[in-house]
Structure 1
Amino acid sequence: MPARRSITKYQRQAGEQTLRFNENGTFQISVFSDLHFAEDHEKDKKSQQVMDKILSSEDVQLVVLNGDLISGEATHSSNSSAYLDRVVAPLVDRNLPWASTYGNHDSEVNLDPEETFRREKNYTNSLTQKMVSGPTSGITNYYLPIFRHGPSNNTDPAFILWFFDSQGGHYPRAAGDNGTAVPRQDWVDDSVVKWFTNTKSRLLSTYGKPIPSLAFVHIPVYAMRAFQVTGVSPTSEPGINNERVQQQGYASKGGYEAQDYPLIKALLNTTGLVATFSGHDHDNDWCFKWDSKLPELNFTGNGINMCYGRHSGYGGYGDWARGGRQIMLDQESLASDMQSWVRLEDGSVSGNVHLNATYGQDRYQLVERSRSGQAEVAPHYSSLVYLWVFMFYMFMQTFGF
């Protein structure tokens, strides 16, 4: 289990944007999902404290803000993008670089994600980019390379981080427009998938080999819902599974029309893609390995891991203990074995797993389902409770319920 560490700053020269593995050959990413700033000043302060506590416990080289940074419905157009300053304050204090995806709450009638992006780019530590232009493309579609530790003339990336804008929410109103809110599509646009496919081909041609990679997108794809239907094991896929997956294109009325199929296909056709990471569903934080046929999907998994982060902010629904998913890359193992865990606000670790060839078959400890402000639930009896939960799960699986 990862040890709790004292705070160390990731120092960079002014204007330096290159990401590199440390001298010990590792690169750690801390993911904050669903921060939901702007709902309440006290909640914002508590969310900043969550970020501070987690970053004080980990040696992080990059922070990913994986969607729903701001609750746009709680803002006024005169000050909406200014909430970004509160979101990134803990990162600025530590001189940490960060990269964002925007979520469905980051675009609302009074919150223009284009303005948020422009404000974010005022910070030299923001690595967020916009590599695709188009009326339905969204904003945060880009990639970042990570290089091996060593001479700066080594120009071959060791790892690629992909970022996608799954959109959603509503289009911002123009000045003087008091009309009905217009919803945005809540899936990665086909123009972005085309860019992704072409960029992968260009990278392959440039470097002569596939580069291991990760992908970050706020709203999960339908494969996560399809796997959830088959049953998330509390020991093989440890974590909280307390909410129906609401995938890209999900609509409680009108149904799902496979809008994310082009992205799913492109992800499966990406050699070396180790894992995807999403947020959006606050009461889920599990991972699964997609290595089989799933119900109602025309694609068979190729071993890609698909993970949730952890609800990090005190805005938004849910009362599970806040935290942030940690990702540890090692330049020796790269795509073959990646460690990941959730650091909770009280400093404890939850769901420490190895996303390797046997993930989904390996057995892990049951996750303590602690609530906000609690170290654990029913400390004297929780182990017994989870034992009975596991026994009930195995009974249901055995007899086909």
Structure 2
Amino acid sequence: MTELTRVAKDSADFASKPRIQPVHPGDTRPVSVSARLGRLQFHDSGKFRVLVLADIQDGPKISKDTIKLIEAALDSSRPDIVIFPGNQIAGYDKAYAKTFRKRTWTPQKWSMGAAATNQRDAELDHTRELVRGSISQFVSPLIERHIPWAVTYGNHDFQCGLTNAELDEIYREFPGCLNPEPMIKPSDRPRKQPGSGLPDQYIYPCEPGTFALPVSKDRESGNVLGLVVFNSGDYGKLGGYGAPSQRALDFLKTVPSLIGVQSMVFQHIPVPQYYDLLKEVPATAAHAVEGYRKFAGHNYVIDEAKTLPGSFLGEGISCPDTDTGEFDVLKSTDGYFALLAGHDHRNRFVGTVDGLTLIATPTCGFGSYGPAPAQRAARLLEFDIRHPYEPRTQLLEFGDLVGKSSSSKAYTYALNGTPDAAKEGTNLLRRPRLIAQILRKMHLKK
């Protein structure tokens, strides 16, 4: 049974299943079941949950609505792990103006001499403090609930003036972070990450923002699936978006043999094959969206035959101009079943290309452009031990979980004049608004 067929079937009978309950008052155990077990592991129920928080993309002061969405999504879904797939930091924010870097290969313009060096160091230290404060705001809800988490990087994080390795160091200061310590040279030996909240979790490291996390059935049995957090690169020197490093691509080739089962990849920038989930149409067609760069001059709509119901194309897919070879690696190794990307804040669709599930996830943040505030969302993935390579997925929307936005900072970026998306297929929470109401009442009683 294909993933699309199974999701349709599950949607029909899911109403009879109990909804997820919020944590009871006074229950101090980790919200993450995996955190209780000490490693990423399927529950006795046969389920495992990943929550994706894409494109927070904000300055030093994170929008209150972003935090509200994160809190509500955590409490309603109770994930085993949270993954941030890049652009957590809006490196172009004016607060980082003194250390801003437009591109990774562009040297920062510093004056020569001891005084200038001291000034540079002071400004970079100030940026570190700002970034540290920003990270603290959006990971605090996870720390409070003892939910482990992992991050990779996008095309804006580094623009604050800190390298991905420097950002990694800051993230590891916070409890629950699974990003591994750096390696001097490649290794196929797993390691454990102190402070992650998962003392028994093995991690296969590669480079900042790229590593693999096996998920097991139980303590005696082997791995069931892998989660690969992958740095997809930032910008290309010839324009447009860049490519993953060769080291990262080589790592993708080795992961199947390291973990021994199939994996799902989480990254920032989508691969060009996402366009295979679209149909080219005339520019005058209803809801047509023009492609990006290489695909400019061509107009597209969602191909409903290849995607889940409710899939929505809100902007051209912003991928590299040339094929980086990543998709071919994923297919040729036969070690992967799905790839999830953020980056395009208004896109929200799920489909299959050559047997590989491709997922586009919208922004969860209120500090940048995106869909209507009510439809900014976290994405929940639920894996079932009976068919671990066919996860069900749902967008947990702000309007359902929280209600009306109070943010004046968020703005909607409309390209095609169509209303924002209908709900995607499965409802994994069954009645999210009721859950949100229960949580608000509990909060008022504190």
Same fold (TM over 0.5): yes
Select 1:116's aligned residue among 167, 170, 173: 167
Q: 2:392 matched to 1:322?
A: no
Instruction: Kindly state the Cα deviation for residue 328 of structure 1 after the two structures are TM-superposed.
Output: 0.6
Pair 11,124 (structure 1): closer, same or farther in 2 beyond 3 Å: farther
Report what 2:232 is aligned to: 166
Instruction: Kindly state the Cα deviation for residue 109 of structure 1 after the two structures are TM-superposed.
Output: 4.5
Report what 1:49 is aligned to: 68
Report what 1:7 is aligned to: 22
Select 2:277's aligned residue among 227, 231, 237: 227
Instruction: Kindly state the Cα deviation for residue 201 of structure 1 after the two structures are TM-superposed.
Output: 3.2
Deviation string 1:298-331 (CA, Å, 9 cap, x unpaired) is: xxx2x11100122101112123321111111011
Q: 2:82 matched to 1:63?
A: yes
Note if contact 1:72-1:80 (Cα within 8 Å) is conserved in structure 2: no
Pair 331,160 (structure 1): closer, same or farther in 2 beyond 3 Å: same
Note if contact 1:80-1:110 (Cα within 8 Å) is conserved in structure 2: no
Pair 37,138 (structure 1): closer, same or farther in 2 beyond 3 Å: farther
Note if contact 2:223-2:259 (Cα within 8 Å) is conserved in structure 1: no
Report what 2:267 is aligned to: 217
Select 2:391's aligned residue among 312, 332, 338: 338
Give the superposed CA RMSD.
3.0
The amino acid that maps onto 1:266 is V
Alignment of 1:172-211 (within 5 A): 186-204=242-260, 211=261
Report what 2:322 is aligned to: 257
Select 2:56's aligned residue among 35, 41, 45: 35
The amino acid that maps onto 1:222 is P
Q: 2:348 matched to 1:285?
A: yes
Write the distance in 2 (CA, Å) between the matches of 1:65 and 1:100. 5
Count of aligned residue pairs for this structure pair: 309
Q: Secondary structure at the match of 2:159?
A: coil
Instruction: Kindly state the Cα deviation for residue 103 of structure 1 after the two structures are TM-superposed.
Output: 1.1
Pair 202,93 (structure 1): closer, same or farther in 2 beyond 3 Å: closer
Report what 1:381 is aligned to: none
The amino acid that maps onto 2:338 is A
Deviation string 1:73-120 (CA, Å, 9 cap, x unpaired) is: 114341342121112111111110111111111111534332221111
Q: Secondary structure at the match of 1:324?
A: strand
The amino acid that maps onto 2:72 is K
Pair 93,194 (structure 1): closer, same or farther in 2 beyond 3 Å: same
Instruction: Structure 2: state its 5+ residue gaps.
Output: 1-10, 24-30, 97-123, 186-205, 281-300, 402-421, 428-446
Note if contact 1:4-1:57 (Cα within 8 Å) is conserved in structure 2: no
Pair 219,107 (structure 1): closer, same or farther in 2 beyond 3 Å: same
Write the distance in 1 (CA, Å) between the matches of 2:183 and 2:229. 11
Pair 353,271 (structure 1): closer, same or farther in 2 beyond 3 Å: farther
Larger mean CA deviation between 344-353 and 267-276 belongs to 344-353
What TM-score results when the alignment is normalised by the length of structure 2?
0.63
Note if contact 2:143-2:175 (Cα within 8 Å) is conserved in structure 1: no
Note if contact 2:150-2:179 (Cα within 8 Å) is conserved in structure 1: yes
Q: Secondary structure at the match of 2:274?
A: helix
The amino acid that maps onto 2:174 is Y
Q: Secondary structure at the match of 2:138?
A: helix
Identity of aligned residues (%): 19
Report what 1:377 is aligned to: none
Instruction: Structure 1: state its 5+ residue gaps.
Output: 171-180, 205-210, 250-255, 291-300, 355-401
Select 1:25's aligned residue among 46, 54, 61: 46
Q: 2:424 matched to 1:351?
A: yes
Write the distance in 1 (CA, Å) between the matches of 2:232 and 2:83. 15
Instruction: Kindly state the Cα deviation for residue 220 of structure 1 after the two structures are TM-superposed.
Output: 0.4
Pair 161,271 (structure 1): closer, same or farther in 2 beyond 3 Å: same
More helix by share: 2
Instruction: Kindly state the Cα deviation for residue 130 of structure 1 after the two structures are TM-superposed.
Output: 6.0
The amino acid that maps onto 1:304 is L
